[in-house]
Amino acid sequence: MKKILLIRKAKIYIHVELDDGAKLVLKEDTVAKHMLYKGMMLDDEKITEILSDDGKQRALEKAANYLGYGMKTTKQVKDKLKEKGADEESIDYAIEKLSEYRYIDDGEYARLYAEQNAKKYGVKMIENKLRQKGVSANIAKEAAKSVSDSQEEAARTLLEKLNRKYAGLDERKKKQKMYEALMRKGFEWGKVSHLLKVDYDDGFEE
């Protein structure tokens, strides 16, 4: 058993000093939850419980602060907490709590990302970028598919910009560059080829 010799508040945390020389640096909420007081006796199991609760609350707080900068995927939040030194148990706790209240929602994140980038990327690129952010394959594919109807208009707009950009090139070279640029952005080759043939005469072959 260990005895609490001193409890004092520092700038942010509460310092709890034990008679064996150990010092626990805890959040104020942790001290309140466990009703710690000077002279209280703690066994090793209780100390482990206190530290576990404190780690979970710190992870939850750090995750919430991170989400204050904008929506994140589950993977992004996990990676940030690992970077901050949180243990797996604390990370799982934070993810579970934030998901419960939908502060973390990969489906909603993917849907919004697809909508916001539908004019910039093709469905393949949107799906790939979502996968890179840790979104599951099924969710990423479904989100990308949801904006497929707007792809022709988006591709046409980008082709118009590229047509002006490469205006100084001969027609065939210009069209090839336009085609390659949209392919890099993840647009479907059939759709791009069709638009080039329809909007920029019939002299293009991919």
Query: Residue ranges of the domains in the chain?
Result: 2-100, 106-148, 150-199
pLDDT in tens, 67-104: 999 999 999 999 999 999 999 999 999 999 999 999 99
What DSSP string runs through 149-192?
Answer: GGHHHHHHHHHHHHHHHTTTS-HHHHHHHHHHHHHHTT--HHHH
CA trace torsion 90, 96, 99, 100 (10° rounding): -130
Q: How far apart are CA 83 and CA 69, in angstroms?
A: 17
> DSSP letter string over 11-69?
SSSEEEEETTS-EEEE-HHHHHHTT--TT-EE-HHHHHHHHHHHHHHHHHHHHHHHHTT
CATH architecture of 150-199: Orthogonal Bundle (1.10)
pLDDT at 104: 98
Q: Coil, strand or helix: which one is 87?
A: coil
CATH of 2-100, one of 3.30.420.40, 1.10.3720.10, 1.10.10.10, 3.40.190.10: 1.10.10.10
The residue assigned the tokens 């069709």 is: 194
- What tokens appear for 46 in the block? 């209780």
Looking at residue 201, what is its pLDDT?
A: 67
How confident is the model at residue 200, as a pLDDT? 76
**Does this model's pTM top 0.75?**
yes
The reply to whether 150-199 shares the fold of 2-100 is yes
Q: Look at the block and give the residue holding tokens 């085609």.
A: 179
* Average pLDDT of the chain, as a whole number: 93
List the structure tokens of 153: 């208009």
DSSP state at residue 198: H
Supply the pLDDT for residue 205: 52
* Residue 64 confidence (pLDDT): 97
Stretches where the chain sits below pLDDT 70 are: 201-206
